[in-house]
């Protein structure tokens, strides 16, 4: 890590977008972070940091922005990456789970053979809001026999209470708002 990287504040690379995706929502946009290689590298290093001496068996990223962070972490830690996707996007046999969002309902899927029983799984997404998506992902991984060792986020919106909906697994966020 360079001296320049140490001086970076990841908060400076998160953009507020009012009224997106609908009026009244203040969206936390990670695009500026992704556009700055030093900030993105620092973000990945901080996400991976606690796991360098105790790597998980697999990293699972949630569509779509969880893919960005999860895949980069998997490469850095030399462990497999598994995507959790929206229905109809995975080409093999899947398990699906529907859940409630802050503004509706959704469904996610994972390949049936993506996680083996007993594997230690690190789940990654860009944002923790109400916890619905991550809660569903945790259940999918556990249904396959995986042990979720951490739910990991770049950004957490504390006022929405998502962390309280994930009490069965350790949860960590780099930035809280």
User: From CA 13, how far away is CA 40, in angstroms rounded?
Assistant: 9
- Helices 65-77, 37-48: axis angle to 10 degrees equals 70
Residue 138 DSSP one-character state: H
Residue 85 DSSP one-character state: B
Helix (H) or strand (E) holding 101: strand 94-101
Supply the residues annotated as catalytic: 65, 102
Helix (H) or strand (E) holding 154: strand 147-156
């Amino acid at each position: 890590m360079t001296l320049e990287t140490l001086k970076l504040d990841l908060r400076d690379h998160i953009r507020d977008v009012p009224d997106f995706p609908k009026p009244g929502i203040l969206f936390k946009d990670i695009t500026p972070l992704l556009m700055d290689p030093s900030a993105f590298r620092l973000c990945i290093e901080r996400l991976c940091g606690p796991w360098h001496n105790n790597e998980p068996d697999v990293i699972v990223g949630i569509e779509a922005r969880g893919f960005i962070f999860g895949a980069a972490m998997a490469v850095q830690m030399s462990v497999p990456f598994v995507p959790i996707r929206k229905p109809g996007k995975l080409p093999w046999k899947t398990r699906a789970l529907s859940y409630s969002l802050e503004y509706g309902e959704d469904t996610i899927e994972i390949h049936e053979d993506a996680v083996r029983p007993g594997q230690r799984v690190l789940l990654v997404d860009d944002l923790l809001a109400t916890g619905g998506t991550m809660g569903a992902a945790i259940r999918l991984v556990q249904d396959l026999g995986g042990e979720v060792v951490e739910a990991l986020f770049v950004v957490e919106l504390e006022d929405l209470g998502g962390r309280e909906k994930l009490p069965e697994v350790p949860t960590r966020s780099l930035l809280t708002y």
